[in-house]
A and B are shown apart, each in its own frame.
Chain A
Amino acid sequence: MAENLKLEVVTPEKYVVSEDAQIIMAPGSLGEFGVLRGHTPFLTSLKVGRLHYKDASGKDRELFVSGGFAEALPDRVTVLAEAAERRSEIDLDRAKAALERAQERLAQEKAENLNYERARAAMYRALERIKLAESARG
Chain B
Amino acid sequence: MASLKEVLAKITSVKKTKKITRAMNMVASSKLKGAQSAMESFRPYAEKFAEVLGNIADKAGDETSPLLMPAEEINNTHIVLMTSDRGLCGGFNTHLIEAAEEFANEQLNQGRNVSFTNFGKKGRDWCRKNKFQRDKEYLNVVGGKFGFNVASTAGQELIDGFLNESYHEVHVVYAQFKGMASQPPAIKQLLPIPVLQSGEKAEADEDSPYMAEHIIEPTPDELLNEMLPRNIYIQLYNALLETSTSEHAARMKAMDNATKACDDMIESLTLAYNKARQAAITMELMDIVGGAEALKG
Contact = CB atoms under 8 A, between A and B. Distances in A.
Interface in B117-170: 147-149, 151-152, 156, 160
Contacts of B41: 13-15
A30 B48 contact: no
A80 interface: yes
A14 B45 CA distance: 8
Contacts of A29: 217-218
Contacts of A45: 217-218, 222-223, 226
Contacts of A41: 210, 212-215
A49 interface: no
Contacts of B213: 41
Interface stretch (A52-60, A66-74, A100-108): A66-74
A114 B212 contact: no
Contacts of A40: 212, 215
Interface residues of B, number: 34
Contact of B210 (A13, A73, A78, A114): A73
Given A12-B234, A13-B38, A80 B214 contact: no
Nearest to A42: B215
Nearest to A118: B156
Contact of B56 (A13, A15, A43, A82): A43
A88 interface: no
A97 to B, nearest CB: 15
Q: Give the interface residue-count category, chain A.
A: 20 to 34
Contact of A82 (B46, B52, B152, B160): B152
A10 interface: yes
B103 interface: no
A59 B147 CA distance: 31
B45 A44 contact: no
Contacts of B148: 11-13, 82-83
Interface string B26-47: 0000000000001001101110
A16 B93 CA distance: 35
Nearest to A39: B215
B105 to A, nearest CB: 33
Contacts of B52: 43, 69, 71, 80
Q: Which of A11, A30, A69, A118 has most B Cβ within 10 Å?
A: A69
A71 B214 CA distance: 9
B244 to A, nearest CB: 14
A15 B42 CA distance: 9
A43 B215 contact: yes
B147 A13 contact: yes
Contacts of A27: none
Nearest to A114: B160
Contact of A30 (B49, B217, B237): B217
A15 B37 CA distance: 12
A102 B287 CA distance: 86
A50 B211 CA distance: 30
B216 interface: yes
Interface of A: 10-15, 28-30, 40-45, 69, 71, 73-74, 78, 80, 82-83, 114, 118
Given A28-B217, A40-B212, A71-B52, 15 more contacts: A10-B45, A10-B48, A12-B45, A13-B148, A14-B41, A30-B217, A41-B214, A42-B217, A44-B217, A44-B223, A69-B52, A71-B214, A74-B210, A80-B48, A82-B152
17 contacts: A10-B48, A12-B42, A12-B151, A12-B234, A12-B237, A30-B217, A30-B218, A40-B212, A41-B210, A42-B217, A43-B55, A43-B56, A44-B223, A71-B214, A73-B210, A74-B210, A114-B160
A-B residue pairs, 4 tightest by C-beta: A44-B217, A12-B148, A41-B214, A43-B214
